[in-house]
């Protein structure tokens, strides 16, 4: 009853004061009236729209809630700052700490705010028909698996694996790169299979199926750092310990992060440390 009263009041305001609602402007892009791109900002307008990709100033999915920025009643919490309207028909949009499709927690949102990109590119892997192949895509979220996978060696000691993000300096652009962890994980797993190594961190992460999802991977150095930043979110629970990333230093060492302090360090590929899978979607 309260919700019905709310909408009646809003309608009255629109009729009496000319209050407008939120949505894309009515421009079309490539013949698609449902697409609101950077050339047609997401704005206050007198009509609603099915906004499959919002502009870059205000994020509010008008097809779900067309009157104001408070989405608590419809979506469970206020998405004024975190909403990315990039889902067809505006299915649930995730905020930091939400439970994601894989049963883990959302720990990064590429929402175009505060220096974050509006989506990030996930590098593809392999060629069609190859085991593990996937085409590159744009993601907006990073989700951590609901539990640690234990500890394992990184693997391939004394080998520089081709196709894996490799660097030794913290000034290298790959140090903070995101979107490369999934590709690197599959590259590592494929190489390990050729040298008969099993039960290594990348292999276990790539084989995970939490929540029925099959796109889990070992996070890159940059993705691992984003996880450290949000380590205190509910459901993550990592307070200490060294965790592997999918980034490689050289033949003998790979990058990981010490959650007691946040230092990213190179450790021997032949040593067993903890790891936690993530996914990008």
Reduce the DSSP state of residue 181 to 3 states and report it.
helix
- Write the burial class of residue 12 (CB in 10 Å: 0-12 exposed, 13-18 middle, 19+ buried): exposed
So what's the pLDDT on residue 237? 83
Q: How confident is the model at residue 160 (pLDDT cuts 50, 70, 90)?
A: very high
pLDDT digits (tens, 9 = 90+) for 215-224: 999 999 999 9
Strands (DSSP E) contained in 133-181 are 137-139, 141-144, 151-153
- The DSSP string of 222-236 is HHHHHHHHTTTSTTT
Token pair of 236 as six digits? 């993550």
Q: For residue 268, what pLDDT is reported? A: 98
Q: Quick check: 25 pLDDT over 70?
A: no
> Domain extents for the chain?
1-93, 120-280
C-alpha dist (Å) from residue 275 to 149, 200, 202, 248: 6, 10, 9, 15
230-274 per-position pLDDT tens digit: 999 888 988 889 999 999 999 999 999 999 999 999 999 999 999
Question: Over 70: is that where the pLDDT of 93 sits?
Answer: no
Give the pLDDT score at 95: 78
H helices of 18-112, where? 72-75
Mean pLDDT, rounded, for 206-210 = 97
Q: Where is average pLDDT lowest: 47-51, 122-126, 176-180?
A: 47-51
Beta partners for residue 111, in sequence order? 118
What is the average pLDDT value for the chain, to the nearest integer? 75
Q: In sequence order, what are the residues at sequence separation of 6 or more whose Cβ sits closer than 8 angstroms to the Cβ of residue 250?
A: 160, 166, 168, 266
**Coil/strand/helix, residue 67:** coil
Question: For residue 54, what pLDDT band results from cuts at 50, 70 and 90?
Answer: very low
Query: Dihedral of CA 83/86/90/94: which sign?
Result: negative
pLDDT surpassing 50 at residue 49: no
Query: Is residue 52 within 8 Å of 70, Cβ to Cβ?
Result: no
Q: Is 265 helix (H, G, I), strand (E, B) or coil?
A: strand
Tell whether the model's pLDDT for residue 48 goes beyond 60.
no
Sign, Cα dihedral of 119, 125, 130, 132: negative
Q: Does pLDDT of 34 surpass 80?
A: no
- SS3 category, 185: helix
Q: What sections of 23-82 are H helices per DSSP? A: 72-75
How far is residue 24's CA from residue 47's CA, in Å, rounded to a whole number?
Answer: 9
97 φ/ψ sector (left φ>0, alpha ψ -120 to 50, else beta): left
Distance of alpha carbon 3 from alpha carbon 139, whole angstroms? 34
Supply the Cα-derived Rg of the chain in whole angstroms: 22
Q: What pLDDT digit, counting tens, does each position of 182-197 carry?
A: 999 999 999 999 999 9
Residue 104 has pLDDT above 50, yes or no: yes
- Picking from 130, 116, 72, 100, the residue whose alpha carbon sits closest to that of residue 216 is 100
pLDDT at 55 over 70: no
Q: Is residue 46 scored above 70 in pLDDT?
A: no
Pick the range with the lowest mean pLDDT from 34-43, 55-64, 147-156, 242-251: 55-64
């Amino acid at each position: 009853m309260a919700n019905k009263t709310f909408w009646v009041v809003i309608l009255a305001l629109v009729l009496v004061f000319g209050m407008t609602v939120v949505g894309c402007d009515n421009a079309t892009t490539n013949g698609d009236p449902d697409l609101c791109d950077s050339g047609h900002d997401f704005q206050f307008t007198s009509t609603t729209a099915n906004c499959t990709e919002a502009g870059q100033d205000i994020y509010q999915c008008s097809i779900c809630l067309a009157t104001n920025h408070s989405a608590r009643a419809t979506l469970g919490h206020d998405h004024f700052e975190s909403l990315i309207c990039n889902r067809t028909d505006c299915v649930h949009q995730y905020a930091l700490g939400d439970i994601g499709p894989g049963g883990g927690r959302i720990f990064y949102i590429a929402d175009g705010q505060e220096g974050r990109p509006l989506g990030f590119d996930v590098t593809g892997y392999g060629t069609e028909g190859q085991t593990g192949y996937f085409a590159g895509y744009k993601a907006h979220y990073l989700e951590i698996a609901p539990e640690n996978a234990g500890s394992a060696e990184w693997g391939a000691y004394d080998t520089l694996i081709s196709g894996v993000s490799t660097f030794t300096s913290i000034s290298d652009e790959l140090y903070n790169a995101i979107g490369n962890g999934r590709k690197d994980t599959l590259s590592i797993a494929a190489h390990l299979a050729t040298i008969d190594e099993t039960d290594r961190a990348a292999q276990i992460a790539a084989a995970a199926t939490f929540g029925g999802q099959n796109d889990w991977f070992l996070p890159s150095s940059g993705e691992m750092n984003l996880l450290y930043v949000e380590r205190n979110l509910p459901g993550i629970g990592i307070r200490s310990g060294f965790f592997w990333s999918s980034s490689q230093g050289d033949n003998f060492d790979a990058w990981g992060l010490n959650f007691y302090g946040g230092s990213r360090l190179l450790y021997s590929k032949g040593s067993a440390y903890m790891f936690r899978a993530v996914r990008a979607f």
